[in-house]
Amino acid sequence: MNYSLQFGQIAADVPYILWGAWPTLWITFVTFFAAAALGLFIAMARLKGGPLASRLAGIWVTLTTNSPLFVVLFFLFNGLPNWGILLSPIVATLIAFIAISSGYLAEIQRGGIQSVRQAELDAAETLGMSRLQMLRFVIAPHVIKTTYPALSNFFIFTMLGTSMASLVGVNELTGRAIEVSSRTFRSIEVFSLVAVTYVVLSLFASVALALVGRWLFRVKARMI
């Protein structure tokens, strides 16, 4: 027990570590929105596509939701170079994250689309709504309301997941923590700082998502 916590020794590196939140955030945003768009496409293929398209979409969802992201990332970054495909850390990260997340997001959005009842669509048609109006006033509000909690949970989940990118050398929050701790040997201090940063970031994200849901989509989401 001859280890004493000395935060003073990492004081100079604190801004550097904290700015790592920026790559964490942008990777999260890019992953989430790209995967959500891809997921919507897959969900539509599964529900409204032909037999082949829906079959392929189903296989894609099964494959992605049952593969560990970390292993996929390692496969892309360490396995492919042997076959002549060299990916930079950030490209490998984005491909792995978007591919895996798209499966989960497709399932969430499929559930949302399926929850729109045929009776509602019939009613909208009776009122003489065009397809666009139906999408805007009937389908979209319904889908957003039912999927919003799951989507915001998944956003937080993605944010925490981005820490894995550090293991292939992306310089985000965890990556910078690993770098500074191997330079200063103040591992506990560095990692507790990073842990607190993740807690603060995800609390902010939760509150922001709940507020956005309340104001834009009238979803009654829990703050925390």
**Min dist. Cβ of residue 198 to other proteins (A):** 5
**Min dist. Cβ of residue 186 to other proteins (A):** 10
**Min dist. Cβ of residue 139 to other proteins (A):** 26
Nearer to other proteins, 52 or 224 (CB): 224
**Min dist. Cβ of residue 84 to other proteins (A):** 10
Interacting residue ranges for other proteins, rule: CB under 8 A: 1, 3, 62-63, 65-72, 74-75, 78-83, 156, 160-164, 166-167, 174, 177-178, 187-188, 191-192, 194-195, 198-199, 202-203, 224
Nearer to other proteins, 47 or 71 (CB): 71
Nearer to other proteins, 41 or 70 (CB): 70
The angle at the Cα of 64, spanning 177 to 101, to the nearest 5 degrees, equals: 50
**Min dist. Cβ of residue 97 to other proteins (A):** 13
At 125, give phi and psi (nearest 5°): -70, -40
Nearer to other proteins, 81 or 216 (CB): 81
Tell me the C-alpha distance between 110 and 40, whole Å. Answer: 8
Q: Which of 199, 208, 207, 184 is nearest to 21 (CA)?
A: 199
Give yes or no for a contact between 115 and 96, defined as CB atoms under 8 angstroms apart.
no
SS3 66: coil
Nearer to other proteins, 138 or 159 (CB): 159
End-to-end CA distance of the chain: 37
Tell me the C-alpha distance between 142 and 53, whole Å. Answer: 25
What is the 8-class DSSP label of residue 8? G
What is the 8-class DSSP label of residue 1? -
